[in-house]
Amino acid sequence: MTAPSTFGLSSEARNLHWLLTNLVEEVPGILSVAVVSSDGLLLLSSDDHRNAQARDERGATRTGPRGSAADLATVVSGIGSLTVGASKLMDFGPVKHTMVAMDEGSLFVMSISDGSLLGVHGAADCDMSVVAYHMALFVGRAGHVLTPELRSELRQNLETESTGSPR
C-alpha cells in the first residue's frame, strides 16, 4: 500500500495515518478502511487509488466500497446513522460496533468518538474477531486525538489531495 502524503501534517495527523496504514497492512483480510466524521465526511482513508476502478471476475468495472474510499465512507455513515436511530428507538444505549456479513465480504463499523466512525471492508475469509480486535485497538489509540482541529486538518488534507492543489 502506498501511504497517503503526510508532508506538512501535524504529528497527530501523521500518527493517525500511520495507525490506519498499519491496520490495513498488518491485519489479514482487510481490504480498505475509512474514518468518517459525525457529519458523514471522509477524514482518513487507506485508499491508495489501486482500487479506484476495481474489476470483477468478468472484467467489468465494479463500484461500491471496493471502488473508492468515498463510497466506503458513504456506506459507513449510512449504517452508523441507521444503528444510532435503532439504538435510540430501542433505548439500548450507544452503539459500539456493527458488523454486516455478506457472501463475498464483511463490513465493520465501530464508533470512535463524538460520532466519528471507523469503517472496515473485509474479505469474505477474514477472521472477524481479529478484525474487530484490531479495530478496537485503533479506536482506543485514535479516539482521544480526534479533536475538532485534527478533523479539520484531515478534511483539508483530503481536499488538497483530491484537487492536487498545493497546501
CATH number, residue 41: 3.30.450.30
167 belongs to a structural domain: no
Give the residue from 161, 122, 167 showing the smallest Cα distance to 43.
161
Whether 27 shows a pLDDT value over 50: the answer reads: yes
- Structural domain that includes position 139: 11-51+60-162
Number of domains the chain is built from: 1
User: Is residue 109 in a domain?
Assistant: yes
Asked whether residue 65 is domain-assigned, the answer is yes
Q: What is the pTM of this model?
A: 0.81
Q: pLDDT over 70 for what percent of the chain?
A: 81
State how far the Cα of 167 lies from the Cα of 157, in Å rounded to an integer: 8
In a domain, 1, yes or no: no
Does position 133 have pLDDT exceeding 90, yes or no? yes
Query: Residue 25: inside a domain, yes or no?
Result: yes
Instruction: Name the band, by pLDDT with cuts 50, 70 and 90, for residue 164.
Output: low
Q: Does 77 map to a domain?
A: yes
Does any domain span residue 5? no
Lowest mean pLDDT among 57-66, 82-91, 133-142, 144-153: 57-66
In a domain, 2, yes or no: no
Q: Are strands 30-36 and 105-111 parallel, antiparallel or unpaired?
A: unpaired
Per-residue pLDDT tens for 57-114? 444 444 444 457 888 999 999 999 999 999 999 998 999 899 999 999 999 999 998 7
Angstrom distance (rounded) from CA 27 to CA 54: 21
Least confident of 3-7, 29-33, 64-68, 137-141: 64-68
